[in-house]
Amino acid sequence: MVQKGPQSEGRIARTVLQKLESLHRAGVSHMGKVPLRAETPPADMAAVAQSPDDDRAAALAAGTHAPGDDQAAALAAVQREVAACVRCAELARTRKQTVFGAGNPLARLVFLGEAPGADEDRQGEPFVGRAGKLLTDMIEKGMKLKRRDVYIMNILRCRPPGNRNPLPVEAAACRQFLDRQLAVIQPEFICCLGAVAAQNLLQTTTSIGRLRGHFHDYQGIKVLCTYHPAYLLRNPSAKRPTWDDLRLLMEEMGLRVP
């Protein structure tokens, strides 16, 4: 059982800030005689609400035990198992390396793709090619978060040869790692990128067009599905509905929506 005291405190603080922001957006300016916030909010308020990395960065700078250390250690233990995994014989034979996942072990938001591609297989990091660059822009320019504040991983941790879709048996084999990573991180939100991620996570055959645009539930985590960045590179007209999905996600997370 992972202890999450400091993290929980951080999350409670963020939740309170988000509730206050929601009330303020709803037009409530005071609770009794107390203003909900100054007319000009502190410049760092959004950062406090949006960055689960702050407490961790401060503790690391002070050389003390940082929030997230326990989770990082737990993830490292799972990662060692993944690195040695040969459950999918073909993938284990053809991969250059496993691609575990990357990001903040305290992330509120996990982005979930389908499987590593050639670039990821080479570098050992998820979403590092052209699609990864677009995902970074979606996170940083669109949502005004830092990529290091979210967590990014895939349904599979090994590249399928020729970038074919994951086989059901492969997705089922890798599911235990997905669930164990989620159990450590305990995110509040998952954003599924593309049909393969969405359909595998939610165990459905419903199209991405019908899955997107509203929230689903996975083990108590709010799940939003949208198009894969690689699809957006091929179909720029899908960027508008994808941005609508991200705005919906931001609203639900209590972030400022432009």
- Of the two residues 115 and 143, which places its CB atom closer to ligand SF4 in the complex? 115
Instruction: Write out the DSSP string of the chain.
Output: ----HHHHHHHHHHHHHHHHHHHHHTT--EETTEESS-SS--TTHHHHHH-TTHHHHHHHHHTSPPTTHHHHHHHHHHHHHHHT--SSHHHHHH-SS----EE-TT-SEEEEES---HHHHHHSSSS-SHHHHHHHHIIIIIS---GGGSEEEES-SSPPGGGPPPPHHHHHHHHHHHHHHHHHH--SEEEEESHHHHHHHHT----HHHHTTSEEEETTEEEEEE--HHHHHH-GGGHHHHHHHHHHHHHHHT----
**Among the residue ranges 1-9, 45-53, 173-181, 189-197, the one whose residues contact ligand SF4 (CB under 6 A):** 173-181
Out of 112, 143, 145, 173, name the contact with ligand SF4 by CB under 6 A: 173
Residue 112 touches ligand SF4, criterion: CB under 6 A: no
Q: How far is the CB of 208 from ligand SF4 (least distance, A)?
A: 22
Residue 88 touches ligand SF4, criterion: CB under 6 A: yes
Binding mask 174-203 toward ligand SF4 (x if CB under 6 A, else -) reads: x--x--------------------------
Q: How far is the CB of 202 from ligand SF4 (least distance, A)?
A: 19
Binding mask 20-59 toward ligand SF4 (x if CB under 6 A, else -) reads: ----------------------------------------
The residues of the shown chain that bind ligand SF4, judged by CB under 6 A, are: 82, 85-88, 91-92, 98, 156-158, 170, 173-174, 177
